[in-house]
Amino acid sequence: MKIYSIKEIAKILKCSERQVFRYLASGQLQGSKQGKWRFTDQDVRDFLKRGRDESKK
């Protein structure tokens, strides 16, 4: 299982690191904080799926 950092997630999502923190604060993106924020493939898939679901409304 691949583990991603904030910087890697920002690159994957094509957004700023600050926006990643906003997603975390709003609860849209889940991750775990082990000293630093870390994200799994599943965290990214869940975030992207929720985004698609929200855009259908």
Residue 14: per-residue pLDDT: 94
What total of structural domains would you count in the chain? Answer: 1
Question: In this structure, which amino acid lies at residue 50?
Answer: R
Instruction: Check if the beta carbon of residue 10 is closer than 8 Å to that of residue 17.
Output: yes
Which pLDDT band holds residue 51 (cuts at 50, 70, 90)?
confident
**Domain enclosing residue 16, as ranges:** 3-55
- Locate all alpha helices (DSSP H) within the chain, ordered by sequence: 6-13, 17-26, 41-55
pLDDT digits (tens, 9 = 90+) for 15-47: 999 999 999 999 999 999 989 999 999 999 999
Residue 28's domain is classified under what CATH number?
1.10.1660
Question: In this structure, which amino acid lies at residue 45?
Answer: R
pTM for the full predicted model: 0.84
Residue 54 scores a pLDDT above 80: no
Retrieve residue 17's tokens: 């690191």
